[in-house]
């Protein structure tokens, strides 16, 4: 919908509404005036009718008095009284008073009749003398005709009985019509406005739903694509390690390192894109719980130690206490690893420092580097997607610029406060404020890593992807393991039958590695459980999956097996296997 | 004692003489039938405290035509009469209220400003003929109804007095 045109419509409707309101107001004012005018002229009519009656009586009395010989009266007095009555007739029969009076049925006729009769007695008045013989005639006319007629007129025009009939409708017709029209107009405009509003709300809602749908579709596509991409990545990583073990020589060492590095970069990029798409689609579920900070940081240190060493950077960790914080372990891991990765990537020399400061309620995790720093203007945009600063020269490794955006959004999601202090040329420091957890989570103690040998261990690998299965076989064989592969439940149970016999006395040297999704009605956990039951010993097992949904991962974890995400680096796999053996 | 009284009488006569002669100078006494009597706070009189006018005296003040409609007649009317301003000059009134009475005992209060500024005219003739009691005369205070008239209709209707006989200046 065109926003501008709809805005214009609203403005138009508003202007019309104001115009109509003004018309209504003026019509109302006019109506009030018309009503007042009507009332006034009607009152005039009534008063003058009374006056006519009054003056008629006064005239009658004067005439009587004069004829009967009152010495204080002259013919002129009587004449004046007669003339005054005549003028009263005039008032009623002309101008506005007559206009009003003419609306009352019968009154104009009665008035005219009365007036002509009144004119008939004029000669008697002109020639009136005391004691003349016309008294009876004149008196009869006045007493029995004129007074009756005038009384009738007074009665007819009296306020109350004929108030509205005396042309009220006509006198206020225009203004009442105008009021009706303007009220109708206002109602129409209101209806139009409401219609417009409903239409717009619907359109907006539709657009929102559409946007939401496409967002979800996009995120789903990304998730599926990511899942599918992880499989070949996993396979190539494992295959490469195997190849390296078999064919490594001083001359091709750097080549292998390069390929490893590239695969890791692809994996990181993939993870970044997946995280952003999940954040976009609000598909990320947050599992907040008490998380021990120390193991998480140690893990981070382990992961980035190699990278730092190759760049001759000092990577330090100042973590004086064993603290528990309230957060989502997986997501926090992503935050820290993104920040660390950035720090190492952009720092050319000096150190990257990871430090923990504890406060009353919170724990501040700081990642400080001696990199190029970020200017004030850039600090405002650096958390946007696809932003890479010009002054930064990442060592031939170009990312998508998603790292800080993910960090920012994850921090918002977890409601961890993220602050940035940076001076251009001196380095940057990112602080994450984490809430302290009250009750530490019951967790397996993180035992010191021991260089256990894997040789002689029998590993059952269950995986439906033939490429990965082969690569596992090859890799584990280089570590001296005896590998039994299975891609279905049947194969796994067959293997279990054999193992029950061969390892009856040494079930401790058994391990199971299984993929979670097996394109069957059962999953990795089901197979592992079956095998464990058949052997009659709880053989340590690890589940590998490309699943990235934290909720699903948690569900798998709840089955009691160790869960690892694809793609799994050979080193991680080795450590995991060692740890499993030790726990058993 | 007698001497004293004589002196007092003499001085009183001298004091009053200029005032009385001043009045007599401006307004003559009416010869015909008195149509209008002005009383109250007036400067010029022709009888003790009052000014009386007959038709001749009024016409001598200057007749002016006034063509206007009224609310009590049909169509345009040709009136002739004395402008209110001229009448007020004749009795020396500049401001205040007029208490006006009519033959039919109608009374109304009119501000002097109506006569001085709103062109109220004391009409003697309508359509070339003298007004009589029967035709709302002999005197009718008429207000011109035109675009320049600033008074409201309700003011005009209550102040247009016909059969006018006395004006009391308050």
Please indicate, yes or no, if residue A227 is contained in any of the structural domains: no
A8 and A133 in a common domain: yes
- The dihedral region occupied by A189, where left means phi > 0, alpha psi between -120 and 50, and beta the remainder, is alpha
Of B135, B153, B157, the CB nearest to A87: B135
| Pair A427, A557 in one domain | no
Same domain membership, residue A8 and residue A154 = yes
Question: Is residue A213 in some structural domain?
Answer: no
Structure tokens at A394: 């990442």
Model pLDDT, residue A449: 36
- Give the nearest chain B residue to A122 (CA atoms): B134
Question: Which residues of B are less than 8 Å from A115 in CB distance?
Answer: none
Q: How many CB atoms lie within 10 A of CB A175?
A: 19
User: Could you give the CA distance from residue A370 to residue A351 in angstroms, rounded to a whole number?
Assistant: 6
pLDDT tens string A207-250: 999 988 887 787 778 777 777 888 888 888 888 888 888 887 88
User: What pLDDT sits at residue A103?
Assistant: 83
Which of A36, A51, A84 has the most B C-beta neighbours within 10 Å, making it the best mutation to test the interface with B? Answer: A84
A158 located within any domain:
yes
| B163/A86 Cβ within 8 A | no
Query: What is the pLDDT, as a whole number, of residue A442?
Result: 47
* Burial letters A76-109, b for 16+ CB under 10 A, else e: eebbbbbbbbbbbbbbbbbbbbbbbbebbeebbe
Q: Which residues of B touch A37 (CB under 8 A)?
A: 153
pLDDT of amino acid A444: 45
pLDDT given for residue A162 in this prediction: 59
Q: Which of B72, B132, B157 sits opposite A83 (nearest CB)?
A: B132
Same domain, A380 and A528: no
Q: How far is CA A494 from the centre of its chain?
A: 57
Among A119, A152, A171, identify where a domain stops. A171
**Residue B104 forms contact with A (CB below 8 Å):** yes
Other C-beta atoms closer than 10 Å to the C-beta of B19 total 8
Element (H, E) at A433: strand A427-435
By C-alpha distance, the chain A residue nearest B103 is: A84
In terms of Cα–Cα distance, which of B103, B120, B129 is closest to B36?
Answer: B103
pLDDT in tens, A485-516: 888 888 888 888 888 888 877 777 888 998 88
The average pLDDT across A569-581 equals 79
Contact A40 B72 (CB under 8 A): no
**Region of poorest pLDDT, from A401-410, A547-556, B15-24:** B15-24
The pLDDT of residue A452: 55
Asked whether residue A522 is domain-assigned, the answer is yes
List of chain A residues whose C-beta atoms are within 8 Å of the C-beta of residue B68: none
Contact between chains at A87 and B133 (C-beta distance less than 8 A): yes
CATH number at residue A290: 3.30.565.10
- Determine the distance in angstroms separating the CA of B136 from the nearest CA of chain A, rounded to an integer: 6
Q: What is the mean pLDDT of residues A417-423?
A: 89
Is B74:A94 a contact under the CB 8 Å cutoff?
A: yes
* Amino acid A180: pLDDT: 92
- Residue A404: Cβ within 10 Å count: 22
H or E segment and range at residue A115? helix A107-120
**Residue in chain B nearest A56 by alpha carbon:** B104
Residue A195's pLDDT is 92
pLDDT in tens, A97-115: 898 888 888 889 999 999 9
In terms of phi and psi (left: phi > 0; alpha: psi -120 to 50; beta: otherwise), the region of B107 is beta
Tell me the pLDDT of chain A averaged across its residues. 83
Domain limits for position A547: 458-583
| The two structure tokens encoding residue A493 | 């149970």
- A430 and A487 in one domain? no
Q: Looking at residues A335-360, what average pLDDT do you find?
A: 87
Q: Are residues A30 and A162 in the same domain?
A: yes
- Output phi, psi for A364, to 5 deg: -100, 125
Q: How far apart are CA B108 and CA A278, in angstroms?
A: 92
- A83-95 pLDDT, tens digit per residue, is 999 999 999 998 8
Give yes or no for B160 touching A (CB within 8 A). Answer: no
**List of chain A residues whose C-beta atoms are within 8 Å of the C-beta of residue B72:** 90-91, 94-97
In terms of Cβ atoms closer than 10 Å to its own Cβ (0-12, 13-18, 19+), residue A208 is: exposed
Residue B102: closest C-alpha in chain A: A84
Closest Cα in chain A to B136: A87
The DSSP bridge pattern shows strands A510-515 and A458-462 to be parallel
Helix (H, G, I), strand (E, B) or coil at A445: coil
Q: Chain A: residue nearest B153 by CA?
A: A37
Residue A248 belongs to some domain of the structure: no
pLDDT(A441) > 80: no
For residues A35 and A175, give the distance between their C-alpha atoms in angstroms, rounded to a whole number: 10
> Among A37, A79, A97, whose Cβ lies nearest the Cβ of B72?
A97
Is A424 in the same domain as A335?
Answer: yes
Q: Residue A305 corresponds to which tokens in the numbers above?
A: 């130690």
Per-residue pLDDT, averaged over A151-172, amounts to 75
Flag whether A234 is in a domain.
no
The verdict on A377 and A492 lying in the same domain is: no
Report chain A residues whose CB lies below 8 A from the CB of B108: none
How does A243-254 read in b/e, with b if 16+ C-beta sit within 10 Å?
Answer: bbeeeeeeeeee
Least confidently predicted of A75-84, A202-211, A507-516, A560-569: A560-569
Of the partner residues A40, A44, A87, the one whose CB lies closest to the CB of residue B163: A87
Sort residue A19 into left (φ over 0), alpha (ψ -120 to 50) or beta: alpha
Token output for B13: 């006569």
Tell me, yes or no, whether A44 lies in a domain.
yes
Contact between chains at B104 and A51 (C-beta distance less than 8 A)? yes
Q: How confident is the model at residue A321 (pLDDT cuts 50, 70, 90)?
A: confident
Nearest to B103 among A80, A86, A90 (CB): A80
Q: What angle do CA A304, A307, A308 make, to 5 degrees?
A: 85
Residues above pLDDT 70, as percent of chain A: 91
Contact A96 B71 (CB under 8 A): yes
CATH number where A497 lies: 3.40.50.2300
pLDDT of residue A567 exceeding 60: yes
Cβ of A95 within 8 Å of Cβ of B103? The answer is no
Q: Which among A83, A96, A97 is the nearest to B133, CB-wise?
A: A83
pLDDT string in tens for chain B (170-residue length): 556 566 665 565 555 544 444 444 478 888 989 999 999 999 999 888 899 999 999 999 999 999 999 989 988 999 999 999 999 999 999 999 999 999 988 999 999 999 999 999 999 999 999 999 999 989 999 999 998 999 988 899 899 999 999 999 98
- Number of domain units in chain A: 3
pLDDT at B16 (0 to 100) = 52
- A55 three-state secondary structure: helix
Q: Which one of A44, A88, A95 has the shortest CB-CB distance to B73?
A: A95
Nearest to A375 by CA among A420, A419, A342, A424: A424
Residue A219 within any structural domain of the chain: no
With contacts defined as CB-CB under 8 Å, which chain B residues touch A84?
Answer: 103-104, 133, 163
Shortest alpha-carbon distance between residue B84 and chain A (Å): 24
Give the Cα separation of B170 and B161 in Å (integer): 18
Rounded CA-CA distance A215/A66 in Å is 112
What residues of A are in contact with residue B154 (Cβ under 8 Å)? 40
What is the reported pLDDT for A314? 87
pLDDT at A535 over 80: yes
Q: Rounded to the nearest 10 degrees, what angle do helices A147-157 and A3-67 cross at? A: 160
Considering only CB atoms, which chain B residues are within 8 Å of A82?
134
Q: How far is A13 from chain B (nearest CA, A)?
A: 38
How far, CA to CA in Å, does A332 sit from each of A344, A411, B71?
18, 8, 95
pTM, two decimals, is: 0.52
Choose among A83, A84, A94: nearest Cβ to B72.
A94
Q: Which of B72, B102, B103, B163 to mutate to test the interface with A (most CBs of A within 10 A)?
A: B72
Last residue of a domain, one of A145, A171, A197: A171
Q: How far is B110 from chain A (nearest CA, A)?
A: 19
By the CB < 8 Å criterion, does B130 face chain A?
no
- What is the SS3 assignment for A394? coil
Same domain for A158 and A21? yes
Residues of chain A with C-beta less than 8 angstroms from the C-beta of B135:
87, 90
- Statement to judge: residues A338 and A471 lie in one domain: no
For residue A388, what pLDDT band results from cuts at 50, 70 and 90? low
Structural domains in chain B? Answer: 30-169 (3.90.420.10)
> Residue A298: enclosing H or E segment and its boundaries?
helix A293-310
List, for residues A267-289, the tens digit of each pLDDT value: 877 877 777 777 776 666 677 88
Which residues in chain B have Cβ-Cβ distances shorter than 8 Å to A86? 133-134
At B25 the pLDDT is 46
Q: Evaluate if residue A333 carries a pLDDT over 60.
A: yes
A489 & A413 share domain: no
Of the candidates A82, A84, A94, the beta carbon closest to that of B73 is on A94
How many whole angstroms separate alpha carbon A432 and alpha carbon A411? 8
The whole-number average pLDDT for the span A254-278 is 80
Please indicate whether, in this complex, the C-beta atoms of A87 and B162 are within 8 angstroms of each other.
Answer: yes
Least confident of A155-169, A391-405, A452-466, B87-101: A391-405
Pair A413, A498 in one domain: no
Smallest CA–CA distance from B75 into chain A, residue: A95
Choose the final residue of a domain: A171, A205, A220. A171
Q: What pLDDT sits at residue B79?
A: 94
DSSP line for A540-564: -EEEEE----HHHHHHHHTTTSEEE
């Amino acid at each position: 919908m065109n926003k501008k045109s709809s805005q214009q419509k609203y403005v138009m409707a508003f202007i019309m509404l104001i115009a109509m309101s003004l018309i209504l107001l003026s019509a109302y004012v006019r109506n009030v005036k018309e009503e007042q005018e009507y009332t006034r002229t009607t009152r005039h009519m009534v008063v003058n009718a009374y006056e006519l009656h009054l003056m008629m009586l006064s005239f009658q009395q004067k005439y009587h008095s004069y004829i009967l010989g009152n010495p204080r009266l002259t013919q002129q007095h009587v004449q004046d009284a007669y003339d005054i009555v005549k003028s009263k007739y005039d008032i009623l029969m002309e101008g506005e008073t007559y206009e009003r009076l003419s609306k009352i049925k019968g009154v104009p006729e009665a008035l005219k009749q009365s007036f002509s009769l009144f004119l008939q007695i004029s000669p008697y008045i002109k020639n009136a003398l005391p004691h003349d013989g016309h008294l009876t005639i004149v008196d009869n006319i006045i007493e029995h005709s004129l007074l009756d007629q005038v009384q009738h007129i007074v009665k007819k025009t009296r306020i109350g009985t004929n108030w509205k009939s005396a042309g009220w409708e006509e006198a206020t017709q225009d203004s009442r019509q105008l009021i009706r029209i303007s009220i109708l107009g206002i109602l129409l405009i209101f209806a139009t406005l409401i219609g417009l509003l409903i239409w717009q709300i619907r359109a907006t809602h539709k657009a929102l739903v559409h946007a939401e749908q496409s967002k979800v579709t996009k995120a789903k596509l990304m998730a599926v694509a990511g899942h599918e991409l992880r499989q070949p990545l996993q396979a190539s990583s494992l295959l490469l390690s195997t190849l390296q073990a078999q064919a490594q020589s001083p001359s091709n060492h750097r080549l292998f390192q390069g390929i490893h590095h590239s695969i890791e970069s692809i994996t990181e990029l993939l993870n970044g894109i997946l995280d952003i798409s999940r954040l976009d689609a609000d598909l990320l579920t947050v599992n907040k719980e008490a998380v021990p900070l120390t193991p998480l940081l140690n893990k981070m240190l382990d992961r980035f130690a190699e990278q730092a060493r190759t760049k001759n950077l000092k990577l330090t960790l100042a973590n004086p206490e064993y603290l528990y914080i309230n957060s989502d372990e997986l997501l926090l891991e992503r935050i820290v690893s993104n920040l660390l990765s950035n720090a190492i990537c952009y720092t050319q020399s000096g150190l990257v420092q990871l430090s923990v400061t504890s406060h009353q309620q919170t724990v501040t995790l700081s990642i400080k580097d001696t990199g190029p720093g970020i200017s004030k203007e850039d600090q405002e945009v650096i958390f946007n997607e696809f932003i890479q600063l010009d002054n930064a020269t990442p060592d031939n490794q170009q990312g998508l610029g998603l790292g800080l955006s993910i960090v920012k959004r994850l921090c918002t999601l977890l409601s961890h406060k993220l602050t940035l202090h940076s001076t251009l040329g001196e380095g940057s420091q990112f602080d994450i404020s984490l809430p302290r957890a009250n009750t530490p989570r019951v967790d397996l103690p993180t035992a010191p890593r021991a260089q256990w040998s894997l040789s002689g261990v029998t590993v059952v690998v269950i995986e439906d992807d033939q490429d990965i299965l082969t690569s596992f076989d090859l890799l584990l064989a280089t570590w001296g393991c005896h590998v039994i592969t299975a891609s279905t439940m049947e194969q796994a149970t067959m293997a279990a039958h054999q193992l029950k016999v061969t390892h009856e006395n040494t079930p401790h040297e058994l391990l199971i590695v299984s993929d979670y999704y097996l394109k069957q009605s059962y999953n990795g956990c089901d197979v592992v459980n079956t095998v464990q039951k058949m052997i009659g010993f709880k053989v340590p097992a690890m589940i590998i999956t490309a699943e990235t949904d934290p909720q699903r991962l948690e569900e798998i974890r709840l089955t009691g097996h160790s869960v690892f995400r694809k793609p799994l680096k050979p080193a991680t796999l080795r450590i995991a296997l060692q740890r499993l053996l030790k726990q058993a | 004692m007698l001497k004293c009284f004589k002196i007092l009488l003499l001085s009183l006569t001298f004091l009053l003489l200029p005032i009385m002669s001043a009045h007599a100078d401006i307004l003559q006494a009416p010869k015909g039938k008195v149509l209008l009597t002005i009383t109250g706070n007036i400067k010029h009189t022709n009888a003790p405290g009052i000014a009386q006018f007959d038709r001749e005296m009024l016409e001598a003040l200057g007749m002016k035509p006034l063509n206007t409609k009224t609310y009590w007649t049909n169509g345009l009317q040709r009136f002739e009469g004395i402008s209110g301003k001229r009448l007020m000059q004749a009795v020396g009134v500049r401001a205040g209220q007029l208490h006006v009475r009519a033959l039919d005992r109608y009374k109304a209060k009119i501000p002097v400003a109506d006569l001085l500024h709103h062109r109220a005219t004391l009409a003697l003739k309508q359509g070339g003929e003298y007004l009589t009691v029967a035709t709302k005369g002999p005197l009718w205070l008429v207000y011109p109804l035109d675009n320049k008239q600033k008074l409201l209709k309700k003011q005009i209707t209550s102040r247009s007095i016909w059969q006018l006989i006395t004006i009391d200046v308050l």
